[in-house]
Amino acid sequence: MLLSQKFVSADSPMWLIIILILAGLGLFLFGINMMSNSLKTLAGNKLKAIIQKSTNSPIKGILVGIGITVLIQSSSGTTALVVGLVSAGLMTLPQAIGVIMGSNIGTTITSVLIGLPITDYFIAFAGIGSFVYFFSKKKKIKEIGSALFGFGLLFFGLSIMSSSLDVIFTQYEETATNIFTKFSSVPVLGLLVGTAFTALIQSSAAAIGILQTLYSSSIIPLNGALAILIGSNIGTTITAIMAAIGSTTDAKRTACVHALFNVIGALIFMPLLYPYNLLMSNMENWFNMNPAMTIAVAHIIFNLLSTFILFWFRGYMAKISCVIIKSKEQKNPIYQGLSDYSLCTKSPTLALEFTKKAIEYMSSITVQYFELTMDYSFKNNSEAIDKAQAYELELDELDNKIHDYLIKITQVGVENADSNILSKYLDTIKDLERIGDHCSNIIEFFRDRYNENLVLSDEGSTDLKNMYDTLDLMVKNATLAISTGNKQLANTVIEAEEKIDVMEETYRKRHILRLNKGICTVSNFDYYVDILSNLERIGDHTDNIASNVIYDDYSSLAQTGLKELHSLENKNEI
């Protein structure tokens, strides 16, 4: 805190002290956001997949919620991810409840870090972080530096606020004491202040951090601090509520459960505020805890006990959310059907008809993902990353579900004609999923390009647009051929695929020429070549889809491939 004390003293004018308080708050919020964003980047783009695939039991859901929140240092970020997964139909409401409970526990780690006696070393964290960021060329190392810098910055902000508030409290001790004492005599007032402030800044970790500073400076009594702490847990639900606006009914219900969980937890603790205060006061004395750590421990106790109590009532909370948020939409029949294998045993032929509908739906998602990728390639849009992740997860989910459904049909047994169709369907869903993977690769390449401010040349952009235009028509025609069975349409795809191969080779050579002339930079080279390669592979997969439409007999596709392979081997022998 020594550095901040140089900027403020008992003789400093009030306007300067207020500016420093606001500056400290700004630095604290900026630091905690920088740290959270860097940790998210380090965790990679698979956070949604980790959550979605690891929550098949409530206990696992809680553990995943704790782990992810500790990893990204943001319970709001975790709940927003969960709402997004539920909105996409990739997670059920019961699965989401466990993760939400866990996220409330995981967020306490920030207050514990603030409670550790490391405040005086904030300048070291910031200095090391900036040094690592500016002198490292590896992206992951730079993100570690950014996280350390943010960590140091939040402590710097806290120290400025603390010293400035100390001056105000000294100058206006009687007035300040009267105001903050009301939080103890009227705990509901503290609850409302905590709720409103946290909702305003949309970060319970930040609100608790500021509360720790106030209590450490003896500006607010423990009883009032605990009331504000409880209120902050209600205020943090605003992020999930905002994320659910305009989403599906289940996504809104997920946000509702999050609010219910924290509100009910507050209703349990507020009548017990006196024994809660007595417990924390004694623990502070018993364990010789500093004031900031006392608030951190109080935060942990609140969330642990709330989770333990309400864990047994999670089903009731889900039902209450269904009563509060009325259903205005039908659940996606595709997902419901793929989870019900009764049709497979009753009528494999009808089950195959349903599978076709599921593949048509999957192909429509593929088209949307490709169009998003095409748009993002020429215009940076921050929302595209979240949409891309949702499309990727949904395609993976559909690939797995349709695959399992088709395998279930084979276990029952089908006629030769149906077996032929089933084989082509298995092939098609894999090609659709692979197109999605290549779109993900391209999105990743362009995200890095935008982050590093790499600019494509005019010629490079034109070539890329030409390739995209051809592929756009191919993807749409291939997916349309799936639903209509139009062989003529499928033939246009196969003819265009040869053009894509020529484009990829030609544009790659043109790019090398631009590189030699100095029009493009070396940094741009790998990006551009990899993008062309991924686009060419998308063309290959649309060709495979079209071939499945053209050939009535699936075995003939394999025979044709073997003939081509033998022909190539014979040429090599010659």
Q: Does 365 lie in the same domain as 394?
A: yes
Whether 329 maps to a domain, the answer reads: no
Any domain includes 394: yes
Domain co-membership, 59 together with 161: yes
Decide if 435 is inside a domain.
yes
| CA–CA dist 29, 390 (Å, integer) | 28
- Same domain, residue pair 119 and 205: yes
Same domain, 409 and 551: yes
Please give the pLDDT value at position 74.
67
Integer CA distances (angstroms), 264 to 65, 234, 260, 307, 312, in order: 19, 9, 6, 11, 13
SS3 55: coil
Query: How far is residue 339's CA from residue 487's CA, in Å, rounded to a whole number?
Result: 32
In a domain, 543, yes or no: yes
Residue 333 lies in a domain: no
CATH at 426: 1.20.58.220
Rounded Cα gap, residues 278 and 109, in angstroms: 23
Co-location of 279 and 387 in the same domain: no
Mark whether 249 and 345 lie in a shared domain. Answer: no
Listed in sequence order, the residues at least 6 apart from 69 whose beta carbon sits closer than 8 Å to its beta carbon are 75, 77, 78, 102, 103, 105, 106, 107, 109
Question: Same domain, yes or no, for 282 and 404?
Answer: no
What is the extent of the structural domain holding 159?
Answer: 14-324
Cα separation, 160 vs 251, whole angstroms: 40
Name the CA radius of gyration of the chain, rounded. 29
- Of 324, 352, 387, the residue that ends a domain is 324
> Do both 276 and 364 map to the same domain?
no
Helices (H), 136-236: 139-171, 173-185, 187-201, 204-216, 222-235
Residue type, 9: S
Task: Give dist(CA 197, CA 107) in Å, integer.
Answer: 17
Domain limit, last residue, from 291, 324, 357: 324
| Spatial CB neighbours of 137, under 8 Å, sequence gap ≥ 6 | none
Q: Do the beta carbons of residue 502 and residue 532 sit within 8 Å?
A: no
CA 454, distance to chain mean position in Å, is: 25
Tell which of 272, 292, 324 closes a domain: 324
Could you list the pLDDT tens digit for every one of the 574 residues in the chain? 444 445 566 667 777 778 887 887 788 778 767 776 776 666 554 555 566 565 667 888 888 888 878 776 667 767 777 776 676 555 778 888 888 899 888 888 877 877 777 666 667 878 888 888 888 878 788 888 888 888 788 778 767 776 776 676 666 656 656 666 666 678 888 888 888 888 876 677 777 887 887 788 777 888 888 998 999 889 888 877 876 776 677 778 888 998 999 999 999 999 999 999 999 999 999 999 888 899 999 999 999 999 999 999 988 998 898 888 877 655 566 777 787 777 777 667 777 888 888 899 999 999 999 999 999 988 888 788 888 888 988 899 899 999 998 998 888 776 777 778 888 899 999 999 999 999 999 998 888 888 877 777 788 889 899 999 999 999 999 999 988 888 899 899 999 988 998 998 998 888 888 878 776 654 554 678 889 999 999 999 999 999 888 877 766 555 454 344 444 444 444 4
Is 330 a member of any domain? no
How many other CB atoms are there within 10 angstroms of residue 324's CB atom? 13
Q: Is residue 375 assigned to a domain?
A: yes
At residue 326, what are phi and psi to the nearest 5 degrees? -70, 145
- Are residue 311 and residue 198 in the same domain, yes or no? yes
The owner of tokens 């948020």 is 325
Distances (CA, A) of 322 to 88, 94, 445, 528: 18, 12, 41, 49
What sign for the dihedral angle of Cα 288, 291, 292, 293?
positive
Same domain (yes/no): 159, 302: yes
- Per DSSP, the chain holds a count of helices (H) and strands (E) of 27, 0
Q: In angstroms, rounded to a whole number, what is the distance separating the alpha carbons of residues 111 and 210?
A: 10
Residues 282 and 380 in one domain: no
How far CA 288 is from CA of 155, 281, 293, 296, in Å, comes to 22, 10, 10, 14
Rounded distance between C-alpha atoms, residue 425 and residue 413, angstroms: 16
Same domain, 257 and 345: no
- The Cα-based distances of 447 to 343, 375, 444 in angstroms read 43, 13, 5
Among residues 303, 9, 36, which one has the least CA distance to residue 154? 36
Q: Which long-range contacts (CB under 8 A, 24 or more apart) does 298-302 make?
A: 298/225, 298/226, 298/229, 299/108, 299/111, 299/208, 299/229, 300/105, 300/108, 300/111, 300/112, 302/229, 302/230, 302/233, 302/265, 302/269
Asked if residue 432 is part of any domain, the answer here is: yes
Q: pTM of the predicted model, to two decimals?
A: 0.55
| Contact (Cβ atoms closer than 8 angstroms) between residue 219 and residue 180 | yes
- Residue 346, pLDDT score: 67
Strands (E), 313-409: none
Q: How far out from the chain centre does Cα 356 lie?
A: 31
**Domains contained in the chain, number:** 2
